[in-house]
Structure 1
Amino acid sequence: MKIVVISHPENFKHEKEILIRLFEEGLEYFHLRKHDFSKSKIEKYLDHLPKEYHNRIIIYDHFDLVDTYKLKGMHFNRKTKEKVGVYNYLLCHKSFSAHSFEEIKDLHNEFDYVFISPVFDSISKNGYTAKITPEEIESFINSGECKHEIVALGGITEHNARELMNKGIAGVALLGNIWTSYFESKNIDLIVKKFREIKQIVQSGRPYCMSIAGFDPSSGAGVTADIKTMEVHEVYGLGICSAITCQNEDEFASVDWLSADKIIAQAEMQFKKHPISVVKIGIIESLSTLNKVIDRLKQLKPDVKIIWDPVIKSTSGFSFHSSIDKSILNEILRKIYLVTPNALESRNLFDTDNPEKIRGIIKSGGFCNVLLKGGHIQSDVVNDFLIMHNDTRVFEGGRYSGIQKHGTGCVLSSAIASRIARGVGLESACEKGKKYTERFILSNNLRLGYHYCSEVLRLDRLH
């Protein structure tokens, strides 16, 4: 989870010294909010901070300075949100301040996160009392109407931060607790101690997500690719091996399968220790093995959400399965939450890659949601279709020239699993997962892609 620190509105002695200490402690998101500052004052402020920390700073005005100083990004509110479109050419962090769920639902722009406040009685503003409870935030996130990541703001301290854990929020923002404590004590070490305590609480709240997949020594696909994807999405990934493969990113030589019992034994040890809400499953020996594993996962945690990436053929051309037992397949599709086939895999599973026909099949069969990937369809347009019982969402995309990436299916499904583990709704998780995968594809001109920070890969991180 993210920890955001918002600046005090006024300049004061030792402020920059405190900031440098917080940056050294790992602060990644500093909101520089000085509404009375002219552009020249902001420039002077930035000039007095080491350049190595500029890419952690988010400003509230004079947005052209983002490019000049290579800042992390910009923050908007009701008064400034009309400016968002003006700065679309800057592919950087963009966030927003909201004070109600209705305001968040009405947002048309894509923001990396949205502040919601106040969640507790404000420390910096006397009489500004809590208007939104942690439980209400959780309910809103789980409602499916929340399309943005939520960062809680208002009155957050080391004493109440734990109440916000496991509510699906993306982070917490600190303001009064940091600066009021300093003005009362004039003790910089006390501020650092408070930050460390909240950081420890927040980090202990990182959700767990499990990957059951094959081991690919190149780490471009399989369980290690899943874990890398989960890590940058601020989810703790637990890796369960289902197969040992002999391959690199260009050539697949062989696979040695692990039995259902060995896969289950690995998973049981993790469920015994950790609260796992989402499991992503990749290559596995057979549908019979997959069904046994799913049954045991459901015994261990009945409400676990299982996402199946039904790998039939690797990107290097190796075929894993030659036949499909439809009776076992139907059992599986009734037990899991989402399946993510490409066009070829969809024809194997549903005998069609037509979204409307698939929707009829899953509705009549009582099957899970389907994310039909468009990458294997010969077209300049690469649209993905999220097919649900009552609706179909289309996520538009284009085809990119250059070298085909190894492991994009693994990256997509584990990105979706990570976001669901963090409390994001299915539609938003699929949409953001697609965007993350697009950035992964564009990360270099090699077969093995690079993973970057979980803010859906802002291009300033690639420079």
Structure 2
Amino acid sequence: MKGRVLIVAGSDSGGGAGIQGDIKTVTALTGYAATAITALTAQNTMGVFGIHPVPVEFIAQQMRLVLEDIGADAIKTGMLHSEQVIDTVVGVLEEMGGEIPLVVDPVMIAKGGASLLDPAASHAMQRRLLPRADVITPNIPEAQVLSGLEILDLDDMRHAATLILSYGCKAVLVKGGHMDGETVTDLLVTNDGEEVFTSRRIDTPHTHGTGCTLASAIATGLAQRLTLPEAVARARNYVDQAIRQAPGYGGGHGPLNHAWTVDDGF
């Protein structure tokens, strides 16, 4: 076991995304996962049917206790559903100090297209959280919201990523899964340049939790001292195989097979 990852995110009762998907991902990649839960959700593969926020004081307490005792080699944030939650999380990061790599999965747009953040929370993310991020991993709808630009092709992805970089984060990985075509293209942009990652699109409804899984896989790589491009490449391969080997559970957007790296004969 190598690499401690603190995950600050919401719980998914269906087990495919959120804290549950994050823990499975970190463990499958031989890291150690600790958590600070921001909200409880009642959901399955058909959708989200209820959200129960966790009091911000308790979110902060979870984070502090983990960081003070176990520590972390990387931190990943997921569902931070309000301005107050974002301010609380950033406040704990500031008071704990240190230079722990931070991976931000913005979780701004639901799979059905509904906004998960109100304007005040979106502003707080741009103003307070993104400047602390080592990498942010928006999908196309989220990158459009963050940049204010329409994204239709790779050049648009590049322009949006450059604008998002101006908020102060060190790197932006714009995920191209929402665009049409047989090839999925993701673009990693830093102030030093860019790297394009491509893979063949998999025609399947079993993609629930791909964003959470990718961000947690990247965080695990950084915790294990991979470079960012190395962490992204390994994370993309992990997600690709997890989709290909999905168990087919549920009647909607089913979960991935997070455990594909584990030997069945163990």
- Judging changes above 3 Å, is the alpha-carbon distance between structure 1 residues 364 and 444 closer, same or farther for their aligned structure 2 residues? closer
1:297 to 71, 90, 93: 93
Distance 1:254 1:453 in 2: 30
Q: How far 1:359 sits from its partner (Å)?
A: 4.3
Unaligned runs of 5+ in 1: 2-205
* Residue 221 (structure 1) aligns with: 17
Q: TM-score, normalised by structure 1?
A: 0.52
Q: Describe the superposition over 1:57-89 as per-residue Cα deviations: whole angstroms up to 9, x where unpaired.
A: xxxxxxxxxxxxxxxxxxxxxxxxxxxxxxxxx
Distance 2:255 2:165 in 1: 38
Distance 1:384 1:359 in 2: 11
- Judging changes above 3 Å, is the alpha-carbon distance between structure 1 residues 294 and 403 closer, same or farther for their aligned structure 2 residues? same
Q: TM-score, normalised by structure 2?
A: 0.87
Q: Which moved more, 1:406-415 or 1:255-264?
A: 255-264
2:144 to 331, 334, 347: 347
Distance 1:255 1:231 in 2: 26
Q: How far 1:419 sits from its partner (Å)?
A: 0.9
2:209 matched to 1:369?
Answer: no
Q: Secondary structure at the match of 1:394?
A: strand
Distance 2:40 2:207 in 1: 21
Distance 2:19 2:82 in 1: 18
Q: Secondary structure at the match of 1:396?
A: strand
Which runs of 4 or more aligned residues in structure 1 lie more than 6 Å from their structure 2 counterparts after TM superposition? none
2:38 matched to 1:242?
Answer: yes
* Residue 57 (structure 2) aligns with: 261
State percent identity of aligned pairs. Answer: 26
1:326 to 96, 116, 123: 123
Conserved in 2, the CA contact under 8 Å of 1:260 and 1:290? no
2:192 matched to 1:416?
Answer: no
Conserved in 2, the CA contact under 8 Å of 1:287 and 1:329? no
Aligned-partner residue type, residue 230 of structure 2: S
- Judging changes above 3 Å, is the alpha-carbon distance between structure 1 residues 257 and 349 closer, same or farther for their aligned structure 2 residues? same
Q: Describe the superposition over 1:224-281 as per-residue Cα deviations: whole angstroms up to 9, x where unpaired.
A: 1100100011111002111010111212111111233221111111112112121111
Distance 1:293 1:426 in 2: 23
* Residue 256 (structure 2) aligns with: 449
Q: How far 1:437 sits from its partner (Å)?
A: 0.4
Q: Describe the superposition over 1:112-166 as per-residue Cα deviations: whole angstroms up to 9, x where unpaired.
A: xxxxxxxxxxxxxxxxxxxxxxxxxxxxxxxxxxxxxxxxxxxxxxxxxxxxxxx
Distance 1:231 1:442 in 2: 19
Q: How far 1:219 sits from its partner (Å)?
A: 0.7
Distance 1:383 1:317 in 2: 21
Q: How far 1:322 sits from its partner (Å)?
A: 4.0
Aligned-partner residue type, residue 388 of structure 1: T
2:142 matched to 1:335?
Answer: no
Q: How far 1:296 sits from its partner (Å)?
A: 1.1
Indicate the structure whose relative CO is greater, using CA pairs within 8 Å and at least 6 residues apart: 2
- Judging changes above 3 Å, is the alpha-carbon distance between structure 1 residues 241 and 387 closer, same or farther for their aligned structure 2 residues? same
Distance 1:243 1:365 in 2: 26
Alignment of 1:270-281 (within 5 A): 270-281=66-77
Q: Describe the superposition over 1:89-128 as per-residue Cα deviations: whole angstroms up to 9, x where unpaired.
A: xxxxxxxxxxxxxxxxxxxxxxxxxxxxxxxxxxxxxxxx
2:157 matched to 1:360?
Answer: no
- Judging changes above 3 Å, is the alpha-carbon distance between structure 1 residues 385 and 268 closer, same or farther for their aligned structure 2 residues? same
Conserved in 1, the CA contact under 8 Å of 2:140 and 2:174? yes
Alignment of 1:155-170 (within 5 A): none
How many residues end up aligned between the 2 structures? 254
Q: Secondary structure at the match of 2:183?
A: coil
Unaligned runs of 5+ in 2: 249-253
* Residue 189 (structure 1) aligns with: none
* Residue 211 (structure 1) aligns with: 7
Distance 1:386 1:418 in 2: 17
Give the RMSD, CA atoms, in angstroms. Answer: 2.2
